[in-house]
Amino acid sequence: MYHFKLTITNLKTTEIIAYKEKIDSTRLPQHIAIIMDGNGRWAKAQGKHRIFGHKNGVKAVREVTEGCAEIGVKYLTLYAFSTENWNRPKTEVSALMQLLFLTIGKEIKTLQKNNIRLNVIGHINDLPESNRKALQEVMEATKNNTRMTLTLALSYGSREEIAEAVRKMAADYKDGKISMQEITQETIGAHLYTHDMPDPELMIRTSGEHRISNFLLWQMAYTELYFTEKFWPEFERNDLFKAIYDFQHRERRFGMISEQLKEQETTND
Ligand code: FPP
């Protein structure tokens, strides 16, 4: 009995650590990508409909957006709707689209006030016209904002993104616009939807699933992956800071060995 109480006390102590103060603001990841997962399971666990989970997921979107802007992360990319998500029941797809529409309309003021640019990657043309228009309006209105870029991946699939890039380069080669030697890692990157942003340094996925699910496959070659058991609607600002804190304690070797990294650090000092 005594031991049990101790365990509970310890768990509580770990939960209340304020990670923001522990973050080194000089070594922030420039770009964080997130797979927001577990809305449906979170709702089901409380006997509610899946849509209730998505509605509460919007709160978490706000939390991480504000959290990233607050500490100075420059790019945040959220996987909001994959190309595969179109296969969900029609009612869920339309509820998600409506929620997206309402959220964009509501959040434009906050984006402007906080100097955040909205960007979309994916097949925006697959979305209902109302969503497309709303997104285009907000993207246009926020295009000169400089504090942070919030990118929503909508009707997004990474393999298709890469296939499109290959098709564009093949057409350019056929038209004599590029040579075979010009097909490099850089030119491939330049043909992706993410051509104007750095690769993510940290990718977070919620709900205990350990997969990348066709998200930014090319861009995540060297990304640090962080998985948490929390369902997306439960994910709070402190969880974001905890993930960043964890990221800052990893050694990113990019194929090198520890000693070489230390040598590089001394040379850069
Ligand atoms: C994954 O949970 C979540 C989604 C497919 C949609 C994410 C959408 C939102 C958070 C709301 C709207 C977003 C914005 C950007 C305004 P899931 O349904 O796959 O959950 P499950 O794995 O438990 O079924």
Q: Which residues are registered as beta bridge partners of 78?
A: 34, 152
Q: Ligand 1 center to residue 269 CA distance, Å?
A: 43
**C-beta of 80 in contact with ligand 1 (< 6 A):** yes
Q: Where residue 258 falls among pLDDT bands split at 50, 70, 90?
A: confident
Instruction: Say what the pLDDT of residue 123 is.
Output: 97
Q: Is domain 29-156+194-247 given the CATH code 3.30.479.30 in the classification?
A: no
Query: Which tokens belong to 102?
Result: 């309402």
User: Tell me, what's the pLDDT at 204?
Assistant: 98
Whose CA is closest to atom 5 on ligand 1? Answer: 81
Strand ranges across the sheet with 148-156: 116-121, 148-156, 75-82, 31-35, 202-205, 224-227
Question: Which positions ≥6 away from 154 have C-beta within 8 Å?
Answer: 80, 81, 100, 120, 121, 122, 123, 124, 127, 135
Query: What is the Cα–Cα distance from 53 to 134, expressed in whole angstroms?
Result: 23
Question: What is the reported pTM?
Answer: 0.91
Q: Is the CB of 38 under 6 A from ligand 1?
A: yes
* pLDDT classification of 251: cutoffs 50, 70, 90: confident
The answer, yes or no, to whether residue 15 has pLDDT greater than 60, is: no
Torsion sign across C-alpha atoms 38, 87, 58, 55? negative
Domain spans, the chain: 29-156+194-247
Q: What six digits make up the tokens of 68?
A: 């990233």
Atom of ligand 1 nearest to the CA of 44: 23
Contact 127, 120 (CB under 8 A): no
Percent of the chain with pLDDT over 90: 87
Q: Is the pLDDT of residue 132 over 80?
A: yes
Instruction: Ligand 1, residue 60: give the atom nearest the CA.
Output: 10
CA of residue 160 relative to chain centroid, distance: 18
* Closest residue by Cα to residue 115 from 142, 78, 151: 142
Average pLDDT, stretch 102-118?
Answer: 96
Measured from the Cα of 104, ligand 1's closest atom is 16
Per residue in 189-246, pLDDT (tens digit) is 999 999 999 999 999 999 999 999 999 999 999 999 999 999 999 999 999 999 999 9
Q: Closest Cα to atom 6, ligand 1: which residue?
A: 80
Q: What is the pLDDT of residue 73?
A: 98
Question: Which helix (H) or strand (E) covers residue 133, if one does?
Answer: helix 129-142
Q: Name the residues annotated as catalytic.
A: 37, 85
Tell me how far the alpha carbon of residue 92 is from its chain's centroid: 22
Mutate to test the pocket of ligand 1, among 35, 49, 54 (most ligand atoms within 8 A of CB): 54
Q: How many other CB atoms sit within 10 Å of the CB of residue 201?
A: 21
Best residue for ligand 1 mutational test, from 39, 84, 93, 228 (most atoms within 8 Å of Cβ): 39
